[in-house]
């Protein structure tokens, strides 16, 4: 790899860290940069020395409001991008997104039920995560009992399951209290990280890390699956088993991400194409690059959402406004191939 490309790649890998630090300075609560730097330094010193950090309004805003939200944006962006690029390799289709098996609609319905029945953050997240997994298993089960073969059956099954859960979401909106529950349902479905706290991040770390670890261990097999089923079988790969494992792990990280952020589109669809343009189709490099770019993109979107206007803009709106034109540009350039 030429030196300039190596330097550019290293810079991209460092981008999430730089954006994390820069995002601490961004927000509607105005704080002088000197106070932000001083608070960060004092907190680091207190952590190293084992003493309690001095509590202040600035400290609370930085480390109890902004930091968990920043970490959530990084996790959600990297997870959706990882799932998207994995699905695109398994299904050998550049138009596949993490929601191809109806996970987004399933998770959305779970959140609607949580809002209608309990309206607690934990119930919403758990039901969203669970229903996302149910949607995936429903699509897989439907694909296995059908007479078709190949990945197309799973795609069609995902469309069917997604349509069913979308109808159930509409039903939930119809019966929701128009002055209380309905606005919360609509805002959740458009995506937001405004209410994220550290406790919300603790329980999603396990499914995210578990799914990510397995996908990284299988990334060379995704390379083989992207060649086609016959070629993969000729190389001794159990195609059906490996495909199922990858689908389950990608859905696991997707459901965990959606459960805390809502349904955010375009990230898992567009980011893999950008990463593919930078490092090529080899999944050994493509998976980590997709995660890094996805995390950076999601953090930038969240910074825009909480600073552009006086009231926060839902993340799904911004990702659609940015992702659709970018996808059209990639389509025009003819850079939509998956290999």
Mean per-residue pLDDT, 16-36: 89
> What phi and psi, each to the nearest 5 degrees, are found at residue 263?
-85, 110
pLDDT at 337: 53
Q: Quote the Cα angle for 41-46-49, to 5°.
A: 125
Q: Is the pLDDT of residue 231 over 70?
A: yes
Q: Is the pLDDT of residue 339 over 70?
A: no
Question: What's the token pair of residue 125?
Answer: 């997240």
Q: How far apart are CA 156 and CA 166, in angstroms?
A: 15
pLDDT at 149: 57
Q: How far apart are CA 190 and CA 21, in angstroms?
A: 26
Q: How far apart are CA 261 and CA 88, in angstroms?
A: 22
Element spanning 146, H or E = none
Q: Is the pLDDT of residue 338 over 80?
A: no
> Which pTM does this prediction carry?
0.94
Top-tier CATH class for 71-333: mainly alpha
* Domain assignments of the chain as residue spans, ordered by start: 71-333
Question: What's the token pair of residue 243?
Answer: 């495909």
> What phi and psi, each to the nearest 5 degrees, are found at residue 166?
-65, -40
Question: What's the token pair of residue 144?
Answer: 């296995």
């Amino acid at each position: 790899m030429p030196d300039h490309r190596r330097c550019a790649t290293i810079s991209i890998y460092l981008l999430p860290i730089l954006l994390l630090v820069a995002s601490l300075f961004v927000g509607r609560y105005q704080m002088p940069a000197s106070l932000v730097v001083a608070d960060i330094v004092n907190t680091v010193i207190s952590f190293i020395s084992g003493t309690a950090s001095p509590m202040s309004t600035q400290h609370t805003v930085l480390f109890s409001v902004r930091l968990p939200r920043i970490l959530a944006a990084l996790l959600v962006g990297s997870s959706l991008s990882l799932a998207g690029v994995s699905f695109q390799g398994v299904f050998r289709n550049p138009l596949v997104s993490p929601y191809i098996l109806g996970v987004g609609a399933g998770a959305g319905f779970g959140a609607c039920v949580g809002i209608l029945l309990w309206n607690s953050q934990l119930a919403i997240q758990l039901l969203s995560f669970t229903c996302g997994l149910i949607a995936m298993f429903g699509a897989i089960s439907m694909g296995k009992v059908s007479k078709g073969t190949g990945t197309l059956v799973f795609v069609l099954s995902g469309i069917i399951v997604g349509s069913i859960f979308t109808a159930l979401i509409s039903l939930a909106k119809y019966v929701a209290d128009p002055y209380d529950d309905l606005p919360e349902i609509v805002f959740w479905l458009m995506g937001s990280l405004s209410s994220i706290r550290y406790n919300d991040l603790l329980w999603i770390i396990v499914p995210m890390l578990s799914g990510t670890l397995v996908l990284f261990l299988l990334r060379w097999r995704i390379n083989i699956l992207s060649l086609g089923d016959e070629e993969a079988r000729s190389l001794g790969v159990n195609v059906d088993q490996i495909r199922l494992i990858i689908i389950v792990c990608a859905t696991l990280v997707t459901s965990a991400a959606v459960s805390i952020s809502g349904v955010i589109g375009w990230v898992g669809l567009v980011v893999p194409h950008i990463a593919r343009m930078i490092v090529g189709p080899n999944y050994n490099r493509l998976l980590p690059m997709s995660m890094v770019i996805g995390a950076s993109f999601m953090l930038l979107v969240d910074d825009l959402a909480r600073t552009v206007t006086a009231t926060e803009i839902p993340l799904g709106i911004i990702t659609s406004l940015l992702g659709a034109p970018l996808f059209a540009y990639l389509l025009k350039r003819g850079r939509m191939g998956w290999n």
